[in-house]
């Protein structure tokens, strides 16, 4: 059984997944020169497979630039996919017509990362939340106002706030407005694109609690995108860790935190701050710069050529790692070069998938 088949299994509620993503690839062309010649591709998403079950929250975590947000936007067809399959309730999302996709958008919505940039400053809150319902002809007139008032109250706002503008609210309140807009069409699935990363820590917990309450009340499924594993620890049912466009480890929350296997997952977990300052844990440091997604091995070839020509005299990453390990027993070094080897996912235990050699 391969990775995509294994992760398309029955979900925790005993039914088929609500969303299935198979071998998804999203490449952006790189053009250079006067004639804008195509010289390569930015492989933002490179062969990603996972599922989201009914009323399940799947976390997608990794460093900035690893392709998390591109996955979410490609699923909703905000960005065209290069290859792969996306199935929602058994229906092909990437291959469906634009007219049918408009209908599917009622069931698939998105909460954006920036609560300021995602709201039109020239529109009142009433227009922002009501616009989806008007486009899809769900409600109008007094019924529209009643629906907006209910949505605002569900998200911790007051009905009279609908007559104000976005600049009159704080960042947390603006994100609540964004959540109310995402709920306007009564969707089944929501992509949460780092919805709390731009907020204060105290406000983050409020938004996470709000999302959990709304999930229970409306039976929602979430794809929760974040760069901090600590944020998703108590919120997600399963977690997928991405590095350079690929998932390198995926498991349920308890398994991933108790037994991380991939060195990149271990490094992310070790970087999360501990609430107990007296607790000591081994720190794992990633040495080296993040490789360019245009060509992962291009920098390595150039470095090898420079070393062979005698143009570089400084220590290699491996030598630096040895020196750093000698200097401190509490720090383990993982080089970026080591992470470039990203074989297909294999199931090391039930539901625990890791990118490693079988």
Any domain includes 102? yes
Higher pLDDT, 293 or 108: 108
Any domain includes 121? no
Any domain includes 170? no
Tokens linked to 41: 């591709």
pLDDT score recorded for residue 13: 46
Question: Rounded to an integer, what is the distance from CA 346 to the centroid of its chain?
Answer: 21
Distance, CA of 340 to CA of 358 (rounded, Å):
17
What single string gives the DSSP state of each residue in 104-140?
HTTTEEEE-S-TTTTS-TTS-HHHHHHHHHHHTTS--
Any domain includes 257? yes
Q: Looking at 2-6, 18-22, 225-229, 330-334, which range is the least confident one?
A: 2-6
Tokens linked to 221: 């499924």
Distance, CA of 143 to CA of 153 (rounded, Å):
16
Taking Cα atoms as reference points, which of 212, 242, 205, 244 lies closest to residue 226? 242
235-to-66, 203, 231, 251 alpha-carbon distances in Å: 21, 15, 7, 14
Domain count, the chain: 1
Any domain includes 314? yes
pLDDT score recorded for residue 297: 46
Q: The domain containing residue 314 runs over which residues? A: 3-107+187-355
Q: Is the pLDDT of residue 33 over 90?
A: no
Output DSSP code: residue 234.
Answer: T
pLDDT band at 279 (very low <50, low <70, confident <90, very high): low
Any domain includes 261? yes
Higher pLDDT, 198 or 329: 198
Q: Which residues pair with 216 in a beta bridge?
A: none
Q: Which residues pair with 166 in a beta bridge?
A: none
Taking Cα atoms as reference points, which of 268, 269, 263, 212 lies closest to residue 236? 212
Q: Is the pLDDT of residue 176 over 80?
A: yes
Any domain includes 182? no
CB 354 within 8 A of CB 348: yes
Any domain includes 124? no
SS3 344: coil
pLDDT in tens, 65-124: 889 999 999 999 999 999 999 999 999 999 999 999 999 999 999 999 888 888 999 999
Q: Looking at 185-189, 271-275, 333-337, which range is the least confident one?
A: 271-275
Tokens linked to 349: 């235990």
Mean pLDDT over 41-51 rounds to 91
Tokens linked to 313: 């005299």
pTM metric for this prediction: 0.85
Taking Cα atoms as reference points, which of 110, 112, 314, 301 lies closest to residue 198? 112
Residue 275 belongs to domain with CATH number: 3.40.50.300
What's the mean per-residue pLDDT of the chain? Answer: 84
pLDDT in tens, 232-274: 888 999 999 999 899 999 999 999 999 999 989 988 888 776 6
Distance, CA of 105 to CA of 342 (rounded, Å):
34
């Amino acid at each position: 059984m391969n990775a995509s088949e294994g992760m398309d299994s029955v979900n925790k509620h005993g039914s088929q997944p609500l969303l299935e993503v198979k071998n998804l690839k999203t490449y952006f062309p790189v053009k250079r020169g006067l004639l804008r010649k195509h010289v390569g591709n930015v492989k933002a998403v490179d062969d990603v497979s996972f599922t989201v079950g009914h009323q399940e929250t799947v976390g997608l975590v990794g460093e900035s630039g690893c392709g998390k947000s591109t996955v979410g936007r490609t699923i909703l067809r905000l960005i065209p996919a290069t290859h792969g399959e996306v199935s929602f309730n058994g229906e092909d999302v990437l291959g469906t017509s634009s007219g049918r996709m408009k209908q599917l958008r009622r069931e698939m919505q998105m909460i954006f990362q920036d609560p300021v940039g995602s709201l039109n400053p020239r529109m009142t809150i009433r227009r922002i939340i009501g616009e989806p319902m008007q486009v899809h002809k769900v409600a109008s007139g007094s019924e529209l106002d009643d629906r907006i008032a209910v949505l605002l109250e569900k998200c911790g706002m007051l009905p009279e706030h609908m007559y104000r503008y976005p600049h009159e609210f704080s960042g947390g309140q603006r994100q609540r407005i964004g959540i109310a807009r995402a709920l306007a069409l009564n969707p089944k699935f929501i992509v949460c694109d780092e919805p709390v990363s731009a907020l204060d820590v105290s406000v983050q917990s409020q938004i996470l609690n709000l999302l959990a309450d709304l999930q229970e009340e409306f039976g929602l499924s979430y794809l929760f995108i974040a760069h901090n594993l600590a944020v998703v620890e108590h919120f997600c049912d399963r977690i997928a860790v991405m590095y350079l466009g690929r998932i390198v480890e995926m498991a349920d929350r308890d398994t991933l935190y108790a037994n991380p296997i991939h060195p990149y997952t271990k490094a992310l977990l070790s970087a999360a701050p501990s609430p107990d300052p007296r607790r000591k844990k081994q720190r794992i440091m990633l040495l080296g710069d993040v490789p360019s997604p245009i060509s992962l091995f291009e920098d390595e070839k150039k470095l090898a050529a420079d070393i062979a020509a005698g143009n570089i005299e400084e220590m290699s990453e491996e030598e630096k790692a040895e020196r750093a390990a000698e200097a401190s027993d509490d720090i383990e070094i993982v080089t970026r070069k080591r992470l470039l080897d990203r074989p297909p996912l294999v199931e090391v235990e039930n539901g625990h998938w890791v990118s490693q050699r079988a």
